[in-house]
C-alpha cells in the first residue's frame, strides 16, 4: 500500500513516519510530501531514503491514503484535492474536526462510524483524544453528566520552536520565542487564542470535540488548558459527574480492561501516570482514581498520554489501520 505523509518534515510528520514503521503498517512505498521549501529534502523510513515531493506530485503518486499534519490552511486547500483524486485523507489539523459532514475519530471510541464514502477523516485535538479514550468505557457503564478538566500540556504540542525555547531558556541562551512569556520555571494558562466567552480555542475544542466523538451532546464539559515546561506528554486532572453511582474498584477494573488504557494506580508505591513514563508510548495512562467526596456520583482521575503519539500520529495511524482491516482503503 502506497502511503503519503503530508507535512513529513515537521514534528508530528516525523513521528507519523516513526509510528508507521514501528506498528508495521502494510506500506509498500512512502510518499513524503511537504511545502515547496522542503521539496528535495530527504526522509528515511525503514532504512530507505525518500525525497520529499510537492503537493501536486503527492497527488500524482496516487497513494491509497494520505495522512496530513501540515496545518489547517494547508489542509483546507489540499485535502479536498487529494480526496477528489480518490485518495483517503486522515487529517491531523483542526480544519475539518467540527465540519458536520466529516467524521471525527478516536478508534477506541467510534471507529465504526467510518464508511467507504468518507474521504476526509478528522483526527481530534491531542488533549481531547486521551480524555475520551478514558471516558468512553465509564460513559457506557455509568452515563456521564458533566466533566471538569484542567490540562497540563507539553511544549511539544506547540512544535519545535517551543521545544527550542524551553531548552534555550534552560541553558541561558537567547533565541526565538514561541510564547509571549518564558516557559521554563513557569506555567502559562493560555493555549491558543482567547475567544469572546473568555475561554481559549483549545478549551472550546475539548468541549465540542468530546460531544461529537462520544456522540452525546448532553455531556457538559468545561476546560482550563495550561502549558507547562515538560516534554513527553500531556496530563489532565479530570472530575466526572455520572448519572449513576459507581464502586471505585469497579471503575479501576473497567478501565484496566478498556482498549488503549493502562491503569497506574498503586498509591502504596507512589505509582501514578507521568509524562516521564508516557513518553514514546501509544497508550493512555490513568491513575489517582478516587471518589469526589464533595458531590454524589462523582469521580476524580488523572490521565496522561504522549501527545505526539496517541494525541496525534498514533491515532491517525490507528484510523488507517482500521480502514485497511475493514476494506475501506
> Which amino acids are annotated catalytic?
126, 234
* 3 phi and psi angles, rounded to 5 deg: -125, 130
CA distance 130 to 136: 11
Is residue 15 left, alpha or beta, with left meaning phi > 0 and alpha meaning psi from -120 to 50?
alpha
Report helix, strand and coil shares of the chain as percent, to nearest 5: 35, 25, 40
Residue 34's DSSP bridge partners are none
Contact 89, 66 (CB under 8 A): yes
Query: Which three three-digit cell numbers place residue 248?
Result: 471505585
CA distance 140 to 43: 43
CA distance 200 to 223: 9
Amino acid at each position: 500500500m502506497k502511503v503519503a505523509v503530508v507535512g513529513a518534515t515537521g514534528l508530528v510528520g516525523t513521528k507519523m513516519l516513526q509510528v508507521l514503521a514501528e506498528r508495521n503498517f502494510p506500506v509498500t512505498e512512502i510518499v513524503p510530501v511537504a511545502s515547496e521549501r522542503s521539496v528535495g529534502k530527504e526522509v528515511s523510513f525503514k532504512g530507505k531514503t525518500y525525497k520529499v515531493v510537492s503537493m501536486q506530485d503527492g497527488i500524482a503518486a496516487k497513494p491509497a491514503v494520505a495522512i496530513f499534519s501540515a496545518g489547517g490552511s494547508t489542509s483546507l486547500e489540499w485535502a479536498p484535492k487529494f480526496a477528489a483524486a480518490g485518495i483517503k485523507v486522515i487529517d491531523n489539523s483542526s480544519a475539518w474536526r467540527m465540519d458536520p459532514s466529516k467524521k471525527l475519530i478516536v478508534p477506541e471510541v467510534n471507529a465504526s462510524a467510518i464508511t467507504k464514502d468518507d474521504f476526509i477523516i478528522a483526527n481530534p485535538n491531542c488533549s481531547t483524544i486521551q480524555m475520551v479514550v478514558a471516558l468512553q468505557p465509564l460513559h457506557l457503564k455509568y452515563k456521564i453528566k458533566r466533566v471538569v478538566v484542567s490540562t497540563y500540556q507539553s511544549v511539544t504540542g506547540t512544535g519545535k520552536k517551543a521545544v527550542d525555547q524551553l531548552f534555550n531558556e534552560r541553558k541561558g541562551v537567547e533565541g526565538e520565542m514561541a510564547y509571549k512569556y518564558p516557559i521554563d520555571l513557569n506555567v502559562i494558562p493560555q493555549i491558543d487564542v482567547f475567544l469572546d466567552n473568555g475561554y481559549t480555542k483549545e478549551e472550546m475544542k475539548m468541549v465540542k470535540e468530546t460531544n461529537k466523538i462520544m456522540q452525546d451532546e448532553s455531556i457538559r464539559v468545561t476546560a482550563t488548558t495550561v502549558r507547562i515546561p515538560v516534554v513527553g506528554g500531556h496530563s489532565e486532572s479530570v472530575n466526572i459527574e455520572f448519572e449513576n453511582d459507581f464502586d471505585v474498584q469497579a471503575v479501576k477494573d473497567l478501565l484496566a480492561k478498556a482498549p488503549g488504557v493502562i491503569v497506574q494506580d498503586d498509591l502504596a508505591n507512589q505509582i501514578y501516570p507521568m509524562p516521564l513514563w508516557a513518553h514514546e508510548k501509544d497508550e493512555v495512562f490513568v491513575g489517582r482514581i478516587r471518589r469526589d467526596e464533595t458531590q454524589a456520583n462523582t469521580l476524580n482521575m488523572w490521565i496522561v498520554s504522549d501527545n505526539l503519539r496517541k494525541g496525534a500520529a498514533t491515532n491517525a495511524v490507528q484510523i488507517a489501520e482500521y480502514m485497511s482491516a475493514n476494506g475501506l482503503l
